[in-house]
Structure 1
Amino acid sequence: MKNRITLFLFAILFGFGTLANAQIAVQADTLYTMEGDKIVNGVVLINNDKIEAVGSASEVDIPSAYETHQASVVTPGLVDAHSVVGLAGIYNRDDDQNQLETSSPIQPQLRAFDAYNAREELVKFVLNKGVTTTHTGHGPGALASGQTMIAKTPYNTVDEALVESATTVAFTLGPSVERNFSSPGTDAKGIAMLRQKFIDAQDYLEKRNADDPEKRPSKNLEMEALADVLEGELKALITAQRSTDIMNALRLQEEFGFDLILDGAAEAYQLIDEIKKADVPVIIHPTMVRTYGATQNASFTTASKLAEADIPFAFQSGFEGYVPKTRIILYEAAIATAYGLDRERALYALTKAPSEILGIDNRVGSLAEGKDADLVLFDGDPLEYTTHISSVIVDGKVVKEKE
């Protein structure tokens, strides 16, 4: 009997096992579904790991058997559009920093899936800040640092956490590459190296798709990853902060035709027309990024300018060299609202927008029938510093409650 009680308590704390068949009702004074206008006095019904119903209290009846949670404000679980959590550890030790391999500047074959530590304390840190889904993996600093993945944050193994094992190949343009590697030593050399690799990948892809099996090449993991980018199986996530780097990214996309996500884009406000014409989304640098080096011209108003131009964008926690190695995306979004971004648009850029950019909006990012039951419950305005997260629900399980 004692062991059963222990297992039950473990399930309550960590969201596994016993709670798999949970039936939960969430009542909110203000409910942001991200599927339309906010709902005053809203209700979300959860059955097992999916959302069963969403609407106003006058439209959705709560069955008597459902466990009820109440909050001032409820949003979808936050989706961190770009992070290195799970590869970068919270303590900044050599043994827990796996986000950047510096043996070669071009290694698209490296898989985040092979390095992700679901038990890393930094993953639990962002979960407690409302991040239920994270797009994470090899970070900026190499021409091609590796592949990214998407994971849910409350789980203890990569297999349990996994939403998508390979989402993008992460590329970087600019001075951070030149600091980490002896070659390339200049921007032009870096672009030339990438162009040659993509040309090689075009040849490899043509042979890979040959009708005659004997003409197909021996498998080359580097070429496989780049060929998948060219074929649209993976997106190209290009970190480019300066306007010159952003333009180089747009030219590479135009030349090789891959699906591009601009990352960082500190000087995006200088190239609004060019980015809009290219029809590419932006995962914006953390609003409060330290302004030196490639980000020296970052602006607090970039988010509002992208929104005004109707360019899709999302917030990210990014990567920091100091502990705890990651930023809090709620705070980054809040600062953007202080500099002109609409508050509901900021919440959208923390939830639905990143899920759309990453191609997982069929599961997460908004509250709608049939979607994953990922919710964050607040005791006030989510973008106010004094507000607390009272509960976090992931896949229909309460994984955090207010202490």
Structure 2
Amino acid sequence: MKANSILLTNGKIVPMTGETEFTGSILIENGKIKKIIRHTLWKESEKESETKAVLGRNGENVRVIDAGGNYILPGFIDAHCHVGIGEEIYQSEGDDVNEMTDPVTPELRAIDGVNPEDLGFHDARMGGVTAVFTCPGSANVIGGTGVVLKTAGRIIEEMILREPAGLKVAFGENPKVVYGEQKKMPMTRMGTAALLRQTLVDAQTYKGKMTEGKKDPDKLPERDLGMEVIGLVLDKKIPLRAHAHRADDIMTAVRIAREFNVDLVLEHCTEGHKIADILAETGYPAIVGPSFVNRAKVELKDKTFRTPGILAQAGIKVAIMTDHSVTPIEQLPLCAALAVKNGMKEEDALKALTIWPAEILGVDGRIGSLAEGKDADLVVWNGRPLDLNSDPVIVVINGQLIKSGQDEIKKQDVE
């Protein structure tokens, strides 16, 4: 009989719940963490009896895997990337990141461009990244909605954690360069801000007409998909995800979010370290990166791996991202390690890969920490995860064994 559950034993569990690490076992059933057992005084001679006690009567249906004293952590989360819509080995065929024909396209959805067979998902799994936020790019003032995905699945419907999960908007160089070349608005930062503000105002008007239309069908406006999405932002059902590198662009995003009383997530936040005290007062979280790149444009002049640590120290909730494929997604732990090298606390860096991005993305009820009832997305590392020499030796997503040793497990091998 093939096992339909997994028991990971003899692991150093780092739950990311505020508890310190401890030796124990994790029982996985039906894609969820069924039970976590602490073994503070576990002796090798007691392992067999302890395992039997955990398994109970159904032990014959459980696959027991010895973690070998290695570290067990929640799967890492890349809170900003373009995996699936920016396929690496293709050019125009696999590039669905930017719809550069109109600066205002809130109706676009990342889910309609994601290819689950993009090799980036394979790289993510093999690197211990079990969930991502993938989104349109920053060519447009309003680019469309992003989605939180697991990194395993045959079709996107098997991968979705939250959709929509945020509306991508962009400030700074990118929109003005793209549309300035077309001799159309926005050619300036003023134009970018004006287009975003006007769209938010238009959505407020649309919402008002929809309310009137419910009372009087004759006043019901023609359906507008873009306005419906902006309405989700105005109702605080999803945040604005604001691409902003420079400090002045960051503050423009803050100014507009406050004007319209909407939720905001600061993307990139490259110069956030310059205004960390001001940003801390806003309460808005920051997703920092990619820092593991060259200074490809002027806005990256002052990029530094010190930024996430400075922001976290100021009390800002921080996630570290790759912006894949700008930085390959499997290098997410390396980005966090370089942040630690540049002053970030190791505990904060691990939070910035697990529980903090889960909270920012609104999926912390399912992922981001190891707790009973949460999704069984976890990784066994053969050393401290932010050590350059460490590798993820076991990867579990949705309770399915995805990686063992250096190999990815084929689906038929775990059924």
TM-score (norm 2): 0.88
- Displacement of 1:277 in angstroms is 1.4
Does the C-alpha gap of structure 1 residues 381 and 58 become closer, same or farther in structure 2, counting only changes over 3 Å? closer
* Cα distance in 1 for residues equivalent to 2:299 and 2:89: 26
Q: 1:58 to 1:31 in 2, by over 3 A?
A: same
Judge conservation of contact 2:148–2:162 (CA < 8 Å) in 1: yes
Partner residue of 2:32? 50
Matches of 1:55 and 1:306 in 2, distance apart? 35
Counterpart contact for 1:90–1:325, Cα < 8 Å: no
CA RMSD of aligned residues (A): 1.8
Give runs of ≥4 in structure 1 deviating > 3 Å. 58-62, 324-327
Deviations 1:268-295 (A, max 9, x none): 0111122111110001112323234212
Match of 2:390, SS state, is coil
Q: 1:234 to 1:151 in 2, by over 3 A?
A: same
Code of the aligned partner of 2:148: I
2:12 aligned to which of 30, 34, 37? 30
The structure-2 alpha-carbon separation of the partners of 1:101 and 1:325, relative to structure 1 and needing over 3 Å to count, comes to: farther
Deviates more, 1:177-186 or 1:251-260: 177-186
Q: C-alpha displacement at 1:176, in angstroms?
A: 1.4
Equivalent in the alignment of 1:270: 274
What SS is found at the alignment partner of 1:102? Answer: coil
Identity of aligned residues (%): 30
Q: 1:184 aligns with which of 168, 182, 186?
A: 186
2:285 maps to: 281
Structure 1 residues 137-146 or 367-376, which shifts more? 137-146
The one of 171, 178, 181 aligned to 1:173: 171
C-alpha displacement of 1:156: 1.1
Offset, 1:31: 1.2
1:95-114 alignment runs, 5 A limit:
95-114=93-112
Aligned to 1:318: 323
CA distance in 1, matches of 2:401, 2:324: 28
Tell me which amino acid in the other structure corresponds to 1:26: L
State how 1:42-121 maps to structure 2 within 5 Å.
42-58=24-40, 61-63=53-55, 64-65=59-60, 66-69=62-65, 70-71=67-68, 72-121=70-119
Is the Cα–Cα contact under 8 Å of residues 320 and 327 in structure 1 kept in the other structure? no
Instruction: Decide whether the 8 Å contact of 1:81 with 1:134 is kept in 2.
Output: yes
User: In the TM superposition, what is the alpha-carbon distance from 1:184 to its structure 2 partner?
Assistant: 1.0
**Is the 8 Å Cα contact of residues 247 and 275 (structure 2) preserved in structure 1?**
yes
Aligned pairs for 1:383-398 within 5 A: 383-398=386-401
Separation of aligned partners in 1, 2:345 and 2:19: 14
Aligned 8 A contact 1:285 1:318 in 2: yes
Is the CA contact 2:22–2:40 (under 8 Å) kept in the aligned structure 1?
no
Which of the numbers 362, 380, 384 marks the counterpart of 1:381? Answer: 384
Query: How far 1:320 sits from its partner (Å)?
Result: 4.1
1:241 maps to 2:233: no
Q: TM-score, normalised by structure 1?
A: 0.91
Report the equivalent of 1:347.
350
Deviation at 1:165?
2.3
> How much has 1:40 moved relative to structure 2?
2.6
Q: Distance in 1 between matches of 2:20 and 2:253?
A: 37
User: Does the residue aligned with 2:148 lie in a helix, a strand or coil?
Assistant: strand
Rounded Cα–Cα distance in structure 2 between residues aligned with 1:198 and 1:137: 20
The number of residues matched between the two structures is 383
C-alpha displacement at 1:364, in angstroms?
0.5
The alpha-carbon deviation at position 28 of structure 1 amounts to 4.6
Q: Which residue of 1 aligns with 2:412?
A: none
Displacement of 1:340 in angstroms is: 1.0
Q: 1:38 to 1:92 in 2, by over 3 A?
A: farther
1:293-347 CA distances to partner (integer Å, 9 max, x unpaired)?
Answer: 21211122111111111110111121445xx864621111010010111112111
1:308 aligns with 2:306: no
Structure 2 residue 255 is matched with structure 1 residue 254: no
CA contact (8 A) 1:289 1:295 kept: no
- Aligned residue number for residue 10 of structure 1: none
Unaligned runs of 5+ in 2: 42-49, 407-415
Tell me, in whole angstroms, the C-alpha distance in 2 between the residues paired with 1:28 and 1:387: 18
1:330 aligns with 2:333: yes
State whether residues 129 and 330 of structure 2, in contact with CA within 8 Å, keep that contact through their aligned partners in structure 1: no
Alpha-carbon distance in structure 2 between the residues aligned to 1:293 and 1:320? 20
